[in-house]
């Protein structure tokens, strides 16, 4: 319905580009500019497909650099022992904090304006992939953590109060790009405060500290480094799913809502 409305508002159908695995459906609306992808490419892992090309600044070369970064991470997972150990460390710590230290929530915070929406992607990636019942054969009773967060400089004026002085058990991931900006300075400062607390504060000002915090620093932000970061996060999720003995790729919980919404719409009259 949204597509019908958008087309009706447009004076020129040539202004539209359809990105779909169902070419014939797009052609029904008279759309001629069609980019196709395989029907087996789904949801949160479709970021590497042609779906992403228009979003990577509209530049075809940068889209391929983005994929090149992801491809490099894939190769490292197969060939680089240090990289594999790094991914295992992230996965094992996520499982350990969740199952043994009762830290079932993790804040993901980006300290670069161009990465302000990255947490939304990571939230979907992790919670849709790892939000499953535990395997009956697994020693772990808890699967994926609750992922929340956002753009760090804004988050500092919302839920950071709970993180620094609240009573909830949680962890944190901080993502920054190394430069001379105030945001980078805030990322370094917050990572230290969350991890170690501070000794020179008045009693009423004292903060928790001892919050497990991963600090990810990119030397520079470009399509290739972004691709590498996202692919590495996917590896983290995949290794975690293997350890938990769950399927990261099904999403029956998502389908349930769709099924019963259709039933409601068909029966409401």
Annotated active-site positions, please? 128, 157, 258
Sign of CA dihedral 78, 87, 248, 109: negative
Distances (CA, A) of 89 to 84, 95, 152, 174: 9, 10, 24, 16
CA gap 250, 132 in Å, rounded: 9
* Residue 72 burial (CB count, 10 A): 18
Structure token pair of residue 173: 């991931």
Structure token pair of residue 97: 């904090």
The gap from C-alpha 72 to its chain's centroid, in whole angstroms, comes to 19
Close Cβ partners of 42 (under 8 Å, ≥ 6 residues apart): 249
Please report, to the nearest 10 degrees, the dihedral formed by the alpha carbons of residues 134, 233, 51, 255 taken in order: 10
Close Cβ partners of 137 (under 8 Å, ≥ 6 residues apart): 245
Instruction: Give ∠ CA 168-140-75 in degrees, rounded to 5.
Output: 95
**How many CA atoms does the CB half-sphere of 235 hold within 13 Å?**
23
CA gap 61, 29 in Å, rounded: 30
SS3 47: helix
SS3 35: strand
């Amino acid at each position: 319905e949204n597509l019908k409305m958008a087309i009706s508002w447009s004076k020129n159908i040539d202004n539209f580009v359809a990105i779909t695995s169902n070419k014939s459906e797009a052609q029904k609306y008279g759309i001629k500019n069609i980019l196709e992808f395989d029907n087996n490419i789904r949801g949160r892992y479709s970021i590497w497909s042609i779906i992403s090309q228009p979003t990577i600044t509209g530049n075809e070369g940068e889209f391929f650099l983005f994929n090149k970064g992801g491809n490099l991470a894939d190769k490292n997972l197969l060939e680089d022992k240090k990289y594999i150990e790094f991914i295992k460390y992230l996965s094992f710590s996520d499982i350990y904090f969740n199952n043994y230290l009762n830290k079932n929530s993790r804040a993901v915070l980006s300290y670069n304006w161009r990465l302000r929406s990255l947490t939304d992607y990571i939230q979907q990636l992790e919670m849709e992939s790892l939000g499953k019942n535990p395997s009956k054969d697994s020693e772990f009773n808890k699967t994926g953590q609750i992922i929340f967060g956002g753009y760090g400089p804004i988050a500092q004026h919302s839920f950071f109060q709970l993180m620094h002085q609240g009573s909830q058990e949680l962890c944190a991931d901080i993502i920054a790009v190394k430069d001379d900006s105030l945001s980078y300075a805030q990322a370094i400062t917050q990572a230290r405060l969350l991890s170690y607390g501070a000794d020179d504060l008045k009693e009423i000002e004292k903060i928790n500290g001892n919050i497990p915090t991963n600090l990810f620093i990119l030397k520079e932000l470009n399509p290739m480094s972004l691709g590498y970061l996202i692919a590495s996060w996917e590896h983290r999720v995949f290794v975690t799913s293997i350890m938990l003995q769950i399927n990261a790729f099904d999403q029956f919980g998502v389908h349930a809502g769709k099924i019963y919404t259709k039933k409601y719409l068909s029966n409401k009259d």
